[in-house]
């Protein structure tokens, strides 16, 4: 594959990744939705894009005749990680720290400083580590390409419902495979790295397995592959309550009465003993995982 064709392909990959990321950000545009996404997933991908940006700049310096093409590809990657992915990282960071929003700009600035210092510290540390362990590049890449695993674990721990859009899972899995498969699978790659088809097959199987588990969690439930005997007890919003069944109360979400005498699936009870219509509370929890009355955190439904 010639350099110009490769760069054109990389531009298309970067553009597609931006579209997928925007789709995912729209999918989780609420506080509750962003809190379900593992920050490690987006952080690992942002670091990978930062490394690719540096790699394109280095390739442009080495191949002077194609500096503009490689610099353009580096600019695309810079936009992806510095604008879109960092913005999404910030949204996830804020969603997991809702109390920060009410503490003013100084608290927010401190949180931003912590986020950015950790990101660039890991980025610099990774560069030094790969320089020292350049003979173990393939195992390091396998570790970097395990970025779906934190989301799988987060889904199980929190019993999250559909944190990632299926298009994002499939699209990112495929597009992230393009560069390593070219470097280690193309006989005429510009880096002149020896081919390793077995490693390429291992990487594809590894990524496919991660994506398959995420899709199963998306459609069958986040704990679908774990035996029920070892799962922790899940809170029931339709539990019995110790109140006079002749009383009626209002749902503070829709401001209409709830008939407590029926004890049907039309009424949900929170751990803090507040009552809501089932549909009202489910729609509320899609936005915020806190009680509308007392603002206490709510367990997954």
Structural domain includes residue 244: yes
Domain count, the chain: 2
Are 128 and 251 contained in the same domain?
Answer: no
Residue 28 shares a structural domain with residue 55: yes
Asked if 211 and 296 sit in the same domain, the reply is no
pLDDT values of the chain reduced to their tens digit, one per residue, 301 residues: 455 666 677 778 888 988 999 999 999 888 788 888 999 999 899 999 988 888 888 877 877 776 777 788 888 888 888 888 888 988 888 887 766 655 556 666 777 787 778 888 888 888 888 778 878 888 888 989 999 999 999 988 888 878 999 999 999 999 999 888 888 877 776 666 778 889 999 999 999 999 999 999 998 888 887 777 676 677 778 877 665 544 567 888 888 887 776 556 678 888 888 888 888 888 888 777 788 888 888 887 6
Residue 164 lies in a domain: yes
For the stretch 2-57, pLDDT in tens is 556 666 777 788 889 889 999 999 998 887 888 889 999 998 999 999 888 888 88
Task: Assess if residue 284 is contained within a domain.
Answer: yes
86 and 5 in a common domain: yes
Q: How many other CB atoms are found less than 10 A from the CB of residue 273?
A: 12
CB 248, CB 257: distance < 8 Å: yes
pLDDT, position 23: 93
* CATH code of residue 288: 3.30.40.10
Rounded-to-integer distance, Cα 88 and Cα 20, Å: 12
Say if 103 falls within a structural domain. Answer: no
Are 65 and 131 members of one domain?
A: yes
Q: Based on the fold, state whether residues 137 and 194 are members of the same structural domain.
A: yes
Domain end (from 176, 207, 228):
228
- 206 & 281 share domain: no
Here the tokens at position 225 are 């592959």
The helix (run of H) or strand (run of E) holding residue 27 is helix 3-27
Task: Please indicate, yes or no, whether residues 157 and 282 belong to a single structural domain of this protein.
Answer: no
Rounded Cα–Cα distance for residues 40 and 144 (Å): 11
Give the per-residue pLDDT at 99: 63
Cα–Cα–Cα angle for 269, 274, 277, nearest 5°?
A: 60
Question: 211, 228, 245 — which closes off a domain?
Answer: 228
User: Helix or strand or coil: residue 117?
Assistant: helix
- 199 closest CA partner among 148, 149, 137, 147: 137
Q: Are 287 and 155 within one domain?
A: no
The pLDDT value recorded for residue 79 is 86
Report if residue 105 sits inside a domain: no
101 within some domain: no
Domain that holds residue 261: 235-300
Rounded Cα distance between 101 and 90, Å, is 12
Residue 115 forms part of a structural domain: yes
Instruction: Choose the final residue of a domain: 228, 251, 286.
Output: 228
Same domain flag for 30 and 2: yes
- Whether residue 91 is found in the same domain as residue 74: yes
CA–CA separation, 134 vs 226, rounded Å? 38
In this structure, are 219 and 193 located in the same domain? yes
**Domain presence at residue 169:** yes
């Amino acid at each position: 594959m010639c350099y110009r064709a490769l760069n054109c392909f990389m531009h298309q990959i970067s553009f597609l990744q931006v579209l997928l990321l925007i789709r995912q950000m729209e999918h989780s545009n609420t506080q509750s939705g962003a809190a379900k996404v593992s920050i490690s997933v987006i952080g690992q991908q942002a670091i990978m894009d930062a490394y690719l940006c540096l790699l394109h700049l280095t390739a442009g310096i080495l191949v002077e005749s194609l500096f503009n093409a490689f610099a353009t590809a580096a600019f695309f990657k810079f936009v992806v990680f510095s604008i879109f992915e960092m913005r999404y990282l910030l949204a996830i960071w804020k969603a997991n720290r809702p109390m920060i929003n009410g503490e003013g700009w100084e608290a927010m600035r401190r949180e931003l400083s912590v986020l950015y210092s950790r990101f660039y510290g890991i980025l610099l540390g990774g560069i030094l580590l790969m320089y020292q362990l350049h003979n173990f590049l393939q195992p390091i890449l396998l570790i970097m390409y395990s970025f779906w695993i934190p989301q799988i674990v987060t889904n199980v721990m929190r019993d999250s419902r559909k944190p990632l859009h299926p298009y994002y899972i499939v699209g990112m899995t495929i597009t992230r495979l393009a560069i390593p498969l070219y470097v280690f699978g193309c006989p005429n790659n510009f880096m002149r790295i020896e081919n390793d088809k077995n490693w390429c097959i291992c990487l594809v199987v590894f990524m496919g397995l991660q994506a398959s588990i995420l899709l199963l969690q998306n459609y069958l439930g986040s704990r679908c592959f774990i035996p029920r005997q070892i799962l922790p007890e899940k809170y029931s919003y339709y539990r019995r309550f110790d109140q006079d069944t002749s009383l009626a109360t209002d749902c503070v979400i829709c401001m209409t009465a709830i008939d407590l005498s029926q004890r049907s699936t039309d009424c949900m009870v929170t751990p803090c003993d507040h009552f809501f219509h089932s549909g009202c509370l489910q729609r509320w929890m899609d936005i915020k995982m806190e009680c509308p009355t007392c603002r206490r955190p709510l367990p997954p439904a």
